[in-house]
Structure 1
Amino acid sequence: MDFRKTQKISFIEGIAYNAAFILTQGFIITGLAFQFNATERILAIIGVIPMISQMLQVFSPRLFKISGNRKRAMLISASIARYSFTVIPLFLLLNLRNQYLLLISLLIFGAFNSLTGNFWTSIMKDIIPEKKLGRFFGLRNLLISLSSMVLLYFYSFLIDSLGDRKGFLLVATLGAFSAVVSRLLLGEYDDPPKKTLITGNIFSKALKDERFKKFLTFALFWNFTIALASPFFSYHQIVNLKLSYSYLSILGFIATGVSMVFYFWWGKLADRIGHQSVAEFSIFTASFLASMWLFMNEHTFKFLLPIDSIVGGIVWSGINLTLFTLLLGLADSSNVEAYFAVFSFSSGLGALLGALTGGFLASWLNSFKLEIFGMPIYGIQFLFLAGGVSRSISWLLLKRVKTRKEISIPKYFFSTISVLSRRAVSRPYEYAVVITRIQQILKKRIRKKSTNSERKNQRYVI
C-alpha cells in the first residue's frame, strides 16, 4: 500500500496543530491566563497541563476497544480536544473571564490530545517505513520547530500591537481555527489494518523490571521539580520585570534555534558515549540554570536572559532527546506500550503534585519583596532556587539508573582537549603548514608597518 498521501498530510496537520498548541505554552499561556484573572494556584496547574495529561494514556486501550479501530479512536479523542479549544475565544468575546472556564477547557484539550497522540503514533509507525523513520520525523520536527519560531513572534507582535485584550482574542481565534483544521486533516489519514493494543494490567507487566522502577522514581521526581517552578518563570518576566511579549518571543526564537542545532549534535555524541551521560550533564546544568533566576531582576535581565536562552536551548535539547531514548532503551520490546503508559502516568502524577505544591508556595511567596545590597529580590524567586535544588536531587536519582555510559561529558571534553594538546606536541609536523602560514602573515604585517613608518619619517625630513 502507498501511504505517501498520509505522510504529506501529516506535515501540514502537525503545523496546524502546533499553531494551537503553542498558545498553551510559556509566556503566551501565562498572558492568556491573566485575561481570565487566574490566581497563582490555577496558573501553576494550567502551566503543566500537557505534563499532567500524560496520566490518561493508561485509558487508551479501553478507548481502542470501544471504538473498534485506531483511526476512529484517534478521531473521537481529537474531535473532543480540538473543538474544546474553540470555546476559549468565545469566552473572551462574551467577556466570560473566569479562571475555571479556562482551566476546564485546557484540561479537556490536553487530556484528549494525549490520547490522540497515542493513536497517532501507533498509526504513523505502520505508515512510515522503518528505514525512513529517522529522516521523516526529523524533517517533520524541523518544520514544526520553524513554524513555532515564526508563530511565536507573530502572536507576540499581534498582542503588543493590539493590546492584551484585543490581541489575545485574535490569537486565540487563530489558534481555534488551526485546531479545527488539524482535526479535519486527521480525517484524511489512512489506517493500516493492523495493531492490537496491549490489554490486561499494564502496571504489573512494567513494574517487574527493577531498572525501570528506578527510572520511574527519577521520572516522577523530575516532573515534580519541573512543575514546581516552571509556570512562574514567565510570570516573573511579565509581572515583575514587565517585559514585552515581542522581546520574550525573540528569546524563545533564540532558544529554539539553538535547540535545533544541538538536537543533531547531542544525538551523535549520545550514540558514542551513552545517552545517560548526556542526560546527567544536561540535568545537572539545568539545576544551575534554574538557581540563576534568583538574581534575575530589572538590572540583570539584559545579560542573564540571553544566557538563559542559549544555555537553556543547549541543555533542554539534551534532556528532551535523551530521556526519551533512555526510556526506549529500558523498555521491553514485547511490552513497549505498557512501559510508555506507566512512564506517562508516573510523569503526569509527579507534574500534578509539583503544580499543586508550586501554586501553594507561589501564592504565599508572591506577597513580599526584599532588597539585599541594593538588589531587589521578589518572593517568587525563592521558588526558582527551590526548583534548582530539587533538580540537582533528580540528577542523583538518575545516576542510580544503570544504562550504558562510556564516559561523562566533562571527562569526555577534558580527554579530548588532552589528546589534542599531546598530539600538537608529539606531532608538530602536522601543524607545520599552519605555523608557516601564520609566520608569513606576521612578517607581512611587520614589513607593512615598517614601510609606513619610513614614509612618515621622510615627510618630517622634507
Structure 2
Amino acid sequence: MKTITRKSLDNSIKDGAAYSAMLGLTQDYVTPFALALKASVPQIGILSALPNLSVAFSQLFAPFLSERAQSRKSFVFKAVLLQAVCFLPAFIMPVLFRDFGVWWLILWYTLGTMFGSLGNPAWSSLMADLVPGSIRGRFFGYRGMIAGIMTLAFSLASGLLLQISTDTLFLGFGLIFFGASLARFISSFFLNKMEDPQAKAPVKDGVSMKALVMDLNKTPMGKFISYSALINFSTYIAAPFFAVYMLRELGFDYLTYIIVISSASVANFVFMKVWGRVCDICGNVKILKLCSIFVPVVPLLWIFSHNIYYLIGVQALSGIIWAGFLLSGTNYIFESSNRRNRMRGFALYTGGNSLGIALGALTGGFLVSILPQLNGYHMLSLFLVSVIARAIVVSLFINGIKEMKLKENPIPQAFISAYKLDLLALKIKIISQSIFQLPRIFRQPLRSGIVIRIFQLIIRF
C-alpha cells in the first residue's frame, strides 16, 4: 500500500474517531434535551423526521455541488465546518427563547444535520478510491470499532455529566453541545489532511440521478437502496420513541438511560471488527440476510419486560445485529457501484435512508396517539407495529439482494478453526460480563475512581 494512501487511511480513522465523539455527545441526548425543553411526543417525531427530510432533499444536489468544487476533499471539509458551527446556536437559541425553544432546537439541529450530510456522497467516493477492495471489510470494521469506542466513551461521559448537573441541567447540555462542536472541528482537521486521488483529474459521474431512480428495481444497487429505505422506515416508526419510553414513561434517570443505550454501543464496537472479517470471507449478502432475520426481533423483545438487566441484554443484541447490517450494507454499495456512478449511488442511498427515517418518525408520532395501550403503555403498541412492518419488509425484499462476487468455501475459511471459535466465544463472554457490571458500577457513589473503572472496562475489549 502506498505511503500516501496509508497516511490518508490513518487520518480517516482519526476523523472517524472525532466524528464518533460528536455522535456520542449528541445522538442520544438531543431527544433528552428536547424533553427538558418540555417537548411533546409529536414534536419528538418532528425532531427526528425534519433533519432526515433535509438530508434526503440535500442528496438531490450534493453530487452536483461536489463535482463543481475544487476537489471532493475540499467540499467535504467545508460541509463539516458548517455542521460544527450549527451545534452552538442549537443550544444557545432554545435556552434564550424558551417559549419556542423546541422549535429553535429543531431548526438548528436540522441545518447541522443537512450540512453534515452534504459531504457524504463525496466522502464515500473518496474512500472507495483510497481503500483497496480486498481489505475493505477489515478496514471499515476496524474503523467502525474505533468509532464505537469513542461513541461509547463520550456517551458515558455525557450521561455522567447530566447526572451530576441535575440542579444545573442546561449547563450540562451546554457543555455537551460545545463538546460536539469542538469534536467536529477536530474531525475537519483530520479530513483536510487526507489525499484526494481525483484532485488533479476529477472523474464525474456518468449516470444521472434520474437514471438511477428509474432503475431502482432493475439493478443490484437499486434493489438494495429500496430495501434499506424500507427497513429504515419500519425501524424509525419506533426508534425515536425509545428515549421517550425510558425517560418519561418508565421514569429512568439519565444514568440508567445511558447504561441501557450504551450496551448497544459496546456490542457494536466489539463485533464490528468481527463482522468486517466475516464479510471479507463470506460475502456481504450472507451477513446482510443473517442480520435482517433478527432486525424485527429487537423491538419485539422490548414488549416483554422493562427490567434494566433485561433491556441491557436486548440493546446488546441490537448493537450486534445493526453492526453487521450497516457494515455489510455499506460494503454492498461499494461493490455494486463503480467510479462513474458511485457518488450519485451513495447520494441516493443516503437520501433514501433519510426519507425512510423521516416518514417512519412522522408515522410513529401520529400512531402513538391513537394506538391502544399494550401492557399499560401506548409506546409498546408502537413497538409492535414496528415489529410487523420490519418483518413484512424483510420477508418480501431480502431475497432480491444478490451477491456481487462469489466467495470460495466460506464456511471452512471462516469457521473451521477451533481457535477462532474459542476467541469469538471469549469475546461474547467478556461483553456479557462487562455489560451486566455496568449497573453495579454506576450505582456506586460517584468518585474519581469510577472514571478509571469505566475506561478499564472499555480497554478490556
| TM-score, normalised via structure 1 length | 0.76
Map of 1:141 onto structure 2 = 144
SS of 2:376's equivalent in the other structure is: strand
SS of 1:294's equivalent in the other structure is: coil
Map of 1:343 onto structure 2 = 349
* 1:154 aligned onto 2:161: no
* 1:84 aligned onto 2:83: no
Map of 1:176 onto structure 2 = 181
Q: 1: CA distance between counterparts of 2:176 and 2:124?
A: 28
* 1:322 aligned onto 2:328: yes
Q: 2: CA distance between counterparts of 1:205 and 1:266?
A: 29
Map of 1:244 onto structure 2 = 253
- Shift in Å, 1:382: 0.3
| Amino acid in the other structure paired with 2:93 | F
SS of 1:314's equivalent in the other structure is: helix
SS of 2:236's equivalent in the other structure is: helix
Q: 2: CA distance between counterparts of 1:207 and 1:71?
A: 29
Q: Structure 2 vs 1, CA of residues 38 and 168 (structure 1 numbering), >3 Å: closer, same or farther?
A: same
- Shift in Å, 1:394: 1.4
Is the 1:43–1:359 Cα contact (8 Å) retained in structure 2? yes
* 1:19 aligned onto 2:28: no
SS of 2:200's equivalent in the other structure is: coil
Q: 1: CA distance between counterparts of 2:316 and 2:138?
A: 26
SS of 1:86's equivalent in the other structure is: helix
| Amino acid in the other structure paired with 1:348 | S
Q: Structure 2 vs 1, CA of residues 178 and 253 (structure 1 numbering), >3 Å: closer, same or farther?
A: same
| Amino acid in the other structure paired with 1:172 | F
| Amino acid in the other structure paired with 1:14 | G
Map of 2:76 onto structure 1 = 74
Q: 1:166 aligns with which of 166, 171, 186?
A: 171
Q: 1: CA distance between counterparts of 2:109 and 2:89?
A: 10
Q: 2: CA distance between counterparts of 1:89 and 1:402?
A: 42
Is the 1:36–1:102 Cα contact (8 Å) retained in structure 2? no
- Shift in Å, 1:317: 1.7
Q: Structure 2 vs 1, CA of residues 72 and 336 (structure 1 numbering), >3 Å: closer, same or farther?
A: closer
Map of 1:401 onto structure 2 = 400
Post-superposition Cα deviations, 1:372-395, rounded to whole Å, max 9, x if no partner, equal xxxx42112100000011110111
Q: 1:279 aligns with which of 280, 288, 297?
A: 288
Map of 1:201 onto structure 2 = 208
Is the 2:80–2:188 Cα contact (8 Å) retained in structure 1? yes
Q: Structure 2 vs 1, CA of residues 282 and 404 (structure 1 numbering), >3 Å: closer, same or farther?
A: same
Q: 2: CA distance between counterparts of 1:342 and 1:389?
A: 26
Is the 1:293–1:385 Cα contact (8 Å) retained in structure 2? no
Map of 2:46 onto structure 1 = 45
* 1:219 aligned onto 2:221: no
| Amino acid in the other structure paired with 1:197 | K
Is the 1:86–1:176 Cα contact (8 Å) retained in structure 2? yes
| Percent identity (aligned) | 24
Is the 1:252–1:309 Cα contact (8 Å) retained in structure 2? yes
- Shift in Å, 1:243: 1.4
Q: Structure 2 vs 1, CA of residues 332 and 341 (structure 1 numbering), >3 Å: closer, same or farther?
A: same
Of the two, which has the highest radius of gyration? 1
Q: 2:122 aligns with which of 106, 119, 122?
A: 119
Deviates more, 1:283-292 or 1:1-10: 1-10
Structural mapping, 1:223-234, within 5 Å: 223-234=232-243
Is the 2:163–2:255 Cα contact (8 Å) retained in structure 1? yes
Map of 1:262 onto structure 2 = 271
Q: 2:359 aligns with which of 353, 357, 361?
A: 353
Q: Structure 2 vs 1, CA of residues 79 and 260 (structure 1 numbering), >3 Å: closer, same or farther?
A: closer
- Shift in Å, 1:34: 1.3
Is the 1:280–1:398 Cα contact (8 Å) retained in structure 2? no
- Shift in Å, 1:145: 1.5
Q: 2: CA distance between counterparts of 1:185 and 1:267?
A: 23
Post-superposition Cα deviations, 1:279-322, rounded to whole Å, max 9, x if no partner, equal 2332222212212222344xxx2342022122212211221122
SS of 2:341's equivalent in the other structure is: helix
Q: 2: CA distance between counterparts of 1:135 and 1:284?
A: 23
| TM-score, normalised via structure 2 length | 0.76
| Amino acid in the other structure paired with 2:48 | G
Structural mapping, 1:91-130, within 5 Å: 91-96=93-98, 98-127=101-130
Structure 1 unaligned blocks of 5 or more: 371-375, 407-411, 421-462
SS of 1:242's equivalent in the other structure is: coil
| Amino acid in the other structure paired with 2:88 | T
Map of 2:316 onto structure 1 = 310
Q: 2: CA distance between counterparts of 1:351 and 1:212?
A: 19
Q: 1: CA distance between counterparts of 2:220 and 2:14?
A: 39
SS of 2:230's equivalent in the other structure is: helix
- Shift in Å, 1:110: 1.0
- Shift in Å, 1:263: 2.7
- Shift in Å, 1:271: 5.0
